[in-house]
Structure 1
Amino acid sequence: MKLVVFGANTPTGRLVTAMAMAAGHTVTAITLRPADFPFCDLRVQVAAADVMDADAVDWVLRGHDAVISVIGAPPSMKSVDVCSQAAYNIVKAMASHGVRQLVCVGSTDLDAADLSPVALLLQRLVRPLTLACSRAVQRDVRHMENVVRASGLDWTLIRPGRLVDRARMTGYQVTACPVRRPVTSRADLAHALVHVLVHGGHVGETVCVASE
């Protein structure tokens, strides 16, 4: 398959690129800083493109089979629209070029309403500033997920838990959301993104990845 990876220069994006290459796929890695991208391989083409630029997104999608998006945004007290605007541009370009398969990273923080009242109270008492900074990003990610769901594409939303770095993959589980406060290794998340895309599981579903 010819894959486009948006957010390819993030820690998870680099793992996605490496795993897709190892599985025999070709990857167009999208990053704003192509000189910093660590891979040099015939199966990887690095393209500088701003996901907020609809024309740039449309250009890089031509001739590809599927898309993986690991775009994220840092916590902010201000309103942000990086994830949602990127999703809108990606979905529009995919529809234009007849690309059907889309796998996106979401956020388990959107399931906060499913936590117990005690857990919610502890969050508000212990992490008030962190929560305040993350609300704008959560709104943006929720909007992104809604854009993806309404796209009419063969989409899957994958929500990781608290991301950690581990030396190798675990026997992770892909389960229906919500999963209360899971831990997810980046290696497991990257493998799940590639596996779901290539094998076509969980189309039209929002799932969580929980590491052992």
Structure 2
Amino acid sequence: MARIAVVGGNGQIARQLHPLLVQAGHTPVALVRTESYRPDLEALGAEVDILDIEQASAADYARVLSGADAVVFAAGGGPDGNVERKRTVDLGGSLGSIAGAKQAGVRRFVQISAIGVDQPVGEDAGEVWKAYVEAKRDADKALRASGLDWTIVRPGALTDDDPTGAVTLAAEVERGEVTRADVAAVVAAALDDPRTVGQQWELVNGPTAVADAVAAAV
């Protein structure tokens, strides 16, 4: 059994992830901004701790990550059109989590990013999208350079459809959609397979069962 700290623990992917971690025998710890989320998250099997990643100090990150066996960074600034929150949440939250994990002695770190963020952003892209891509790209770069035991999952366009249990997973894949539930399943599988350390994948729905896709990608 492992304690898995999930940064952005009330997010849509995180809420799909908590029950999967419980089923695998782990204890998810949902790190969230506000106490009001506690009842719903505890109903999913997660413990809850408070972390406002936009306000937290390095010591705050280290405190909530202390005692964890792994960190999942699942936070995002949301589709609210706020450029600054892409920097403070998608990038700043990742950087704070990386630093906190190192300070707390937590080596394992799985980050949910986005497909294609290493590619140049088109000139017709809006300011918010450009900020989002840059934040995810820079967060991934920082994690790869961190010295931690990292895995980066870069899903395509996210949907709320029911899980399919089948994906396409590789360093680069053709753009497409993927359910949030299937992203959560890939993250859970990666956490349980040490061969996934040092792997960066793009992810869309496809023909291959999640467990087989992860095994084939390492």
Q: What's the TM-score, normalizing by structure 1?
A: 0.85
The equivalent of 1:93 in structure 2 is 100
The equivalent of 2:179 in structure 1 is 185
Distance 1:66 1:77, change over 3 A: closer
User: Which is bigger in relative contact order (C-alpha 8 A, separation at least 6)?
Assistant: 1
Contact kept, 8 Å, 1:188 with 1:209, in 2: the verdict is: no
Output the amino acid matched with 1:166.
Answer: D
Distance 1:9 1:42, change over 3 A: closer
Larger-gyration structure (1/2): 1
Structure 1: segments with no counterpart, 5+ residues: 115-119
Query: How many residues align structurally?
Result: 199
Matched, 1:78 2:83: yes
Output the amino acid matched with 1:49.
Answer: L
The equivalent of 1:32 in structure 2 is 33
Distance 2:110 2:103 in 1: 18
Root-mean-square deviation (CA, aligned residues, Å) is 2.2
Contact kept, 8 Å, 2:162 with 2:179, in 1: the verdict is: no
Matched, 1:139 2:134: yes
The equivalent of 1:117 in structure 2 is none
Contact kept, 8 Å, 1:84 with 1:147, in 2: the verdict is: no
Give per-residue Cα distances to partners, 1:72-98, cap 9 Å, x unaligned: 123546344222221221111211222
Matched, 1:65 2:69: yes
Distance 1:16 1:42 in 2: 9
Distance 2:24 2:185 in 1: 10
Moved more, 52-61 or 35-44: 35-44
Contact kept, 8 Å, 2:29 with 2:48, in 1: the verdict is: yes
Q: Percent identity?
A: 26
Distance 2:3 2:43 in 1: 14
Distance 2:59 2:11 in 1: 22
Output the amino acid matched with 1:78.
Answer: V
The equivalent of 1:194 in structure 2 is 188
Distance 2:96 2:18 in 1: 21
Report deviation, 1:153.
0.5
Give per-residue Cα distances to partners, 1:144-180, cap 9 Å, x unaligned: 1111011000101100001012223331132112x22
